[in-house]
Amino acid sequence: MSNEVAQGTLDDVLTKPDKNAAMQVMSEAKSIEKYSENLPSTKVGAPIATIWNDDEMLSRAWKSAQFLAKTDLVPQTFKKPENCIIALDIVNRTGMPLWTVMQNLYVVQGKPSWSGQMCIALINGCGRFTPLEFTFVGDRGTDSFGCFAHARRLDNNKEYTSDIITIGMAKKEGWYNKCGSKWVTMPIQMMMYRAGAFFGRVHCPDVLMGLPLADEMRDVYGYDDNKQRSNLTDLLDENSN
């Protein structure tokens, strides 16, 4: 990394409102990361029973899915039993709580995608790395402003990093000015979520189970919400519904 790029932690670089947003990202991830400790091993071995290769499990899962789809406690995505089946399959494979999966799994353009905090939580809870940290670079208010995620691998004590996510990158990739995007109003949070996703896809893609970040999908395909979310409260309301 060039010596000309200013680097710093939350205290060094960010203003108080930005620091609060960054701390919220890490707090949200911390609150759910403990549930990712049961992720299955990726070693090849005897096939495990799943909804898709066990008729009895599929029958039980379908009954559960029909019940879940009728409750008021699941997001709109899971008002279809067929979608509940996918969530139940992930729960069966990982051992994560059902509500954790349902509250953090979105469907964008037909593709299941993780929320930003879930992505960070899965990495932090996998047991391979120290908790993700985020370092900010560049000058606030310019296209050089950005951040990267980094963590130390526990088995070899080496430091691993993500690519640097900058405002300039967001503009060049077409994320920044996408209708409904939060890059203009919540750049700190968006950069941290994206840096976490980049880290996971390179250094532990199996932990994310091959699923992209929901905001990544929206940045590419657009925000199809009926109303444009304009503030943090709207975003948090969406994550809680």
pLDDT tens sequence across 74-126:
999 899 999 999 999 999 888 899 999 999 999 888 888 999 999 999 999 99
Kindly give, in sequence order, each residue whose CB lies less than 8 Å from that of residue 127, ignoring residues fewer than 6 positions away: 37, 154
Angle between helices 16-33 and 187-203 (to 10 degrees): 40
131-134's contacts with Cβ under 8 Å and 24+ in sequence apart are: 131/30, 132/29, 132/196, 132/199, 134/10, 134/22, 134/26, 134/192, 134/195
Contact 115, 104 (CB under 8 A): yes
* Nearest-angstrom CA–CA distance, 26 and 44: 33
Residue 28 scores a pLDDT above 60 = no
**Other C-beta atoms lying within 10 Å of the C-beta of residue 228:** 10
Structure confidence by residue, pLDDT tens digits, 123-179:
999 999 999 999 999 999 999 999 999 999 999 999 999 999 999 999 999 999 888
pTM score, whole prediction: 0.72
Reduce the DSSP state of residue 223 to 3 states and report it.
coil
Cα 50–chain centre separation: 25
In eight-state DSSP terms, residue 39 is P
**Mean pLDDT score across all residues of the chain:** 82
At residue 34 the predicted structure's pLDDT band, cuts being 50, 70 and 90, is low
Residue 48 scores a pLDDT above 70 = yes
